[in-house]
Structure 1
Amino acid sequence: MSRDSIPASGRLTRRETVAGAAALGLVAGRAGAQESGEATGIVYAVQAAGTERAPLPGVLVSNGREVARTDGQGRYRLPLAGDGVVFVIKPPGYALPRDSDNVPRHSYIHQPGGTPASLGLRYKGLAPTGPLPASIDFTLTRVHEPADFDVILFTDPQPESRFELDHVRDTAVARAMAIPAAFGLTTGDVLFDDLSLYGRSNRIVGRIGLPWYSLPGNHDLNMQAPDARHSRETWKRVFGAPSYAFRHGRVLFVMLDNVEWLGPPVPVGANTYRGHIGERTLAFLKNLLAEIPPDDLIVLATHIPLVTDTGDDPRSATIDRAALLDVLAGRTVLSLAGHTHTTEHHYPAEGHHHHVMTAVSGSWWSGPDTRTGIPSADSRDGTPNGFHVLSIRGTAYTTRFVPAQGEPDAMMRIAFESELRPAAPEIVRASHPMQGLRPPIPQDALASTNLVVNVFDGGPRTSLTFRIGDRAPEPMVRTRRLDPFVTELYARYPGTKKSWVQATLSTHIWTARLPDDLATGAHRVTVEGTDEYGRPIRSCAVLEVTGDGTRG
């Protein structure tokens, strides 16, 4: 594809995307370029309704370590010896080209020999790119870009089969289509090992109609690769550079691949990877931040969390996060991650908010089918499967949770838990599941019954109280514990879940003991408080109390 063949719309067809050298790198002349060990090119701009290009000065371009800024003629120069990558960092007010599935094209992958056939990879890698082009050019389109915007945040859709990809389509994607946003992004585990599904997955997500940026996870690896060097061959062919960045409004979005492949599993099925950013990528981030205004917001995305409540296993947390936090010191940072299929909020440094997000697949598409035939997929910490929406207002931000199934504005679940049996608490249910979650409670059992509330996107800055009827509000205590609802759900329907799915300790549960002096009859239970951002949250339930020593 010649550099003059980019449509004025900034869209590339699927054929152009596959045939073009990394879709955005536009080649003009080859003589002598390979020997120089240097990548050079021009960044151009076109108006949204026009075709005439003009060089664009002041744009950042990177090779994954060094960062260059285009000069007055739109030209940049970067070291590039051997295999490598060059990507443009979209500036505010401009749009990247997209393919027919709305995948942004931001990089040129340079791999003269392509993916070595000797690796025996199961999924197709890169075709040979040949010698380094004399000019790797990028063309951006001038657009109106408000400083206030929303972003749809997916993580871990993780379909293991075409059937599970149907679930992604019919839950999260269908719900996201109705949410106005500037773009979307997925922080890894786009698929569950079967990389042949990328084409269909991109077609489905592309119908949301937004530019959609993606980051690879541990289930997006070429697992036959002997080491990290060739572990992203299929990803690079489909999406381009695994780590990259772009700007939108007054926000710098940095997408960092922090899954380091350690080699093929021995025995088969072992997880031979770790959360590791690495010196080269840290240098890229440091060089990039030197070019960004100090009061801009930084939104950093990784697949493996920097820190997580599930422990410090290198497969669940990032081993060089201290070095990352040093690079980010003094900045206002929201870092996003997935991987653990839990929902968590952490504050690892001053000005740094780390949000581990709800998985689209929840409990890896486990659980009883609903009337739609889709698994309930409640996550192991009790959160419904779903996604988040990031709202940016200048340099301020908030996030909100969106369930992928059920009521779209569900924020919490209220349950009652009996401790009548020592060391064996159980959720208070009717004898038949169709009778509901909250049957009447005998008056003499009130003293051994807890109110248990799961605030699906709660964290250490969330606070709750409860009140019964017109009584005064009473505080609830954030308690790290199992969610009783999902614990019983897994026990009740063991044949519907995958073997590794077990309830895990949740970081967003609040508890309180019910008062023991409630009269028989029906009582209104009101749970209210504020979330991580100080916004009011509220939900209600009806508590029935009986006097006959039975639970209805």
Structure 2
Amino acid sequence: MGEQAPHATRREAVIGLGASAAALSLPARAQGRTEPPATASGVVFEDLSGTGRRQAGDPGLPGIMVSNGRDVVRTDAEGRYALPVEDGDAVFVVKPSGFRVPLDADNLPRFSYVYRPHGTPAEPRLRFRGLTPTGPLPASLDFPLRRAAEPAAFDVLLFTDPQPETTTELGYVRDTAVTRALGTQAAFGLTTGDIMFDDLALYPRYNRLIGRIGIPWWNIGGNHDLNFEAPDNGLSRETYKRVYGAPHYAFMHGDVLFLMLDNVNYLGAATAPPAARGGRYEGRFGERQLAFVENVLRDWPRERLVVAAMHIPLVTDLGSENPANVTADRDRLLALLEGRPSLSVAGHTHTTEHHYLGRDGEHHHHVLTAVSGSWWSGPYDRSGIACADSRDGTPNGYHVLSIAGARYTTRHVAASGPDRAMRICLDSQFHARDAEVARAHTVAELLGSPIAADAVASTDLVVNVFDGGPRTRVGVRFAGRDPVPMERVRRPDPFVAQVYARNAETRRPWVKAEPSSHIWVARLPAGLGPGTHRADVFVVDEYGRDASDALIIEVTSA
């Protein structure tokens, strides 16, 4: 990426740094472990008393899965289990369908116990506080569950990359996505990483804000949720574990299994480039998590849906040459999911993408729109909040996953402003010239009409279908003529390119318009003469749903 000035180190952390061969060959550390292996044992019980602690009359629950992050066991007839654990492991219950786990005051699920007998090691010194000493394992490490109705049809809110860097940007999260989600009927929400933008001290306020949505909220960590001072991956989630618990886990809801996976493999502080704040990382699940997935899936019915959530995509339209932007061992996860109805969701790239992977494209991988969009870049709206259009042109926001048995759909929700399925604009081959940018007073004027009749033949109608993908079909009808199909092309959205060009002072230095995977183009008809015309755009999306919108085109004689 060329020489980086000291102030540009955050850009390196945001875009992701590929792991060099030297970094990948670094010897493994001892993961901060100081204690010999131990055995955790206890009871998973039905919390009839509602106290969270087992009382007389609270029965043990048989057949419930409990894990140490690799091994998975089921409770016996009396609800008892036993598992080997090592210093730093998290022991957790896999929430079964028809039950709920305890929630704290901020609606965070409390389902795990992190075993750190002496606390986070004092060296290296971490900038953000890790785990306090837990002491020896409890004589009985128990997990309470309470019965709850879980219909087969339900909604889930999918957030990724809220990524506030400052208290001001926490306010942006509050006043956009959180406010937009108030009153939701979704069963729960989840965030697929980059909860923070490096400052992990902001977790408490963030959790209070998300908690006010009023539904359980599950989380996994991203690359900006790491302890960058850690020498290796083993100590990189100490703050995350203190706040949220197990860094990877699973739970069931209705007829669906959710796998919450951590595929940010931190290669350690020693891999940091000169002047960079943190070391390199790569996308990788690793042997331990893949064994966990295999063990959880062993008894999961093959006809039931599996949803896997992670931070780094399995693949991305931005390219696979950077190991920090894709998952190296994705094929092993796909092999475990083969033959099952499955969906995986990720974030990280601040783009919106659909991919169909595995045998015959049976696995759907959805890269989600970032809540922070362009890392809270762009002009400010009337409320003083950054518009934050994503670098592929999608308005910042989140998705709603709607599930009915083994079938599902997703839909994009703008964090603020109107909810629209697409943006339509005009793009002349001349509009890329700096002089054109300077003469136009607004982006709408530059990328809209009126246009001169002699420019019609060099002007494209450009449609960004925000949640579109390779199975989306788009057509247009100009001025009452017969509909014609539009061509899917990989190119930057001209609208967001102009927004960034005109607002450099409010744009993060690394942010630029990237080629989008959901742009459709059609040339204006040569016979579109002077007058006022209408272009009607018709979309059939990835799930076969119809959407439409229109643009008024004015053509002048000169």
- Per the normalisation by structure 1, the TM-score is 0.90
What are the residue-to-residue correspondences of 1:102-501 with 2, within 5 Å? 102-264=107-269, 265-269=272-276, 272-312=280-320, 313-350=322-359, 351-407=362-418, 409-420=419-430, 431-433=440-442, 436=445, 437-501=447-511
Question: For residues 173 and 427 of structure 1, what CA distance do their matches in structure 2 show?
Answer: 39
Residue equivalent to 2:12: none
Quote how far apart the aligned CAs of 1:216 are.
0.1
Residues 469/289 of structure 1: CA separation in 2 closer, same or farther (3 Å cut)? same
Residue equivalent to 2:38: 37
Q: Secondary structure at the match of 2:123?
A: helix
- AA aligned to 1:299 is V
Question: For residues 426 and 397 of structure 1, what CA distance do their matches in structure 2 show?
Answer: 48
Q: Secondary structure at the match of 2:516?
A: coil
Aligned partners of 2:402 and 2:408 also within 8 Å = yes
Question: For residues 455 and 365 of structure 2, what CA distance do their matches in structure 1 show?
Answer: 41
Question: For residues 36 and 546 of structure 1, what CA distance do their matches in structure 2 show?
Answer: 79
1:61 aligns with 2:66: yes
Q: Secondary structure at the match of 1:541?
A: strand
1:98 aligns with 2:99: no
Quote how far apart the aligned CAs of 1:311 are.
1.3
Quote how far apart the aligned CAs of 1:275 are.
0.5
Aligned partners of 2:40 and 2:137 also within 8 Å = yes
Gaps of 5+ in 2: 1-34
Question: For residues 78 and 49 of structure 1, what CA distance do their matches in structure 2 show?
Answer: 26
Gaps of 5+ in 1: 1-33
Aligned partners of 2:266 and 2:279 also within 8 Å = no
Question: For residues 154 and 427 of structure 1, what CA distance do their matches in structure 2 show?
Answer: 38
Quote how far apart the aligned CAs of 1:132 are.
1.9
1:80 aligns with 2:88: no
Aligned partners of 2:86 and 2:115 also within 8 Å = no
Q: Secondary structure at the match of 1:287?
A: helix
1:133-156 Cα offsets, whole Å, 9 max, x none, are 221100001111111100000000
Deviating more after overlay: 184-193 vs 511-520 = 511-520
Residue equivalent to 1:13: none
Point out 4+ residue stretches in structure 1 off by more than 3 angstroms. Answer: 47-52, 423-430, 434-437
1:494-535 Cα offsets, whole Å, 9 max, x none, are 111011111111000000100011132111110002000010
Question: For residues 490 and 37 of structure 2, what CA distance do their matches in structure 1 show?
Answer: 58
Deviating more after overlay: 239-248 vs 537-546 = 537-546
Question: For residues 181 and 316 of structure 2, what CA distance do their matches in structure 1 show?
Answer: 27
- AA aligned to 1:476 is M
- AA aligned to 2:337 is L
Residue equivalent to 1:4: none
Question: For residues 363 and 475 of structure 1, what CA distance do their matches in structure 2 show?
Answer: 31
Quote how far apart the aligned CAs of 1:178 are.
3.1
Quote how far apart the aligned CAs of 1:356 are.
0.3
Question: For residues 395 and 427 of structure 1, what CA distance do their matches in structure 2 show?
Answer: 51
Question: For residues 147 and 114 of structure 2, what CA distance do their matches in structure 1 show?
Answer: 25
- AA aligned to 1:126 is L
Quote how far apart the aligned CAs of 1:48 are.
8.9
Residues 157/102 of structure 1: CA separation in 2 closer, same or farther (3 Å cut)? same
1:361-380 Cα offsets, whole Å, 9 max, x none, are 00000001011100110011
Aligned partners of 1:48 and 1:143 also within 8 Å = no
- AA aligned to 1:489 is V
Percent identity for Structure 1 against Structure 2:
57
Residues 425/529 of structure 1: CA separation in 2 closer, same or farther (3 Å cut)? farther
Residue equivalent to 1:6: none
Question: For residues 420 and 401 of structure 1, what CA distance do their matches in structure 2 show?
Answer: 32
Residue equivalent to 1:25: none
Question: For residues 435 and 288 of structure 2, what CA distance do their matches in structure 1 show?
Answer: 51
Question: For residues 257 and 492 of structure 1, what CA distance do their matches in structure 2 show?
Answer: 38
Aligned partners of 1:39 and 1:78 also within 8 Å = yes
Aligned partners of 2:68 and 2:85 also within 8 Å = yes
Deviating more after overlay: 345-354 vs 263-272 = 263-272
Deviating more after overlay: 326-335 vs 91-100 = 326-335
Question: For residues 430 and 382 of structure 1, what CA distance do their matches in structure 2 show?
Answer: 23
Q: Secondary structure at the match of 1:253?
A: strand
1:516 aligns with 2:526: yes
Q: Secondary structure at the match of 1:117?
A: coil
- AA aligned to 2:376 is W
- AA aligned to 1:534 is G
Q: Secondary structure at the match of 1:339?
A: coil
- AA aligned to 1:517 is G
- AA aligned to 1:70 is T
- AA aligned to 2:403 is I
Quote how far apart the aligned CAs of 1:331 are.
1.4
1:153-176 Cα offsets, whole Å, 9 max, x none, are 000000000000000000000001
Q: Secondary structure at the match of 1:55?
A: coil
Aligned partners of 1:417 and 1:426 also within 8 Å = no
Q: Secondary structure at the match of 1:150?
A: strand
- AA aligned to 2:526 is D
- Per the normalisation by structure 2, the TM-score is 0.89
- AA aligned to 1:251 is V
- AA aligned to 1:224 is E
Q: Secondary structure at the match of 1:526?
A: strand
Deviating more after overlay: 35-44 vs 109-118 = 35-44
Aligned partners of 2:443 and 2:495 also within 8 Å = no
Aligned partners of 2:211 and 2:217 also within 8 Å = yes
Aligned partners of 1:47 and 1:143 also within 8 Å = no
Q: CA RMSD in A?
A: 1.9
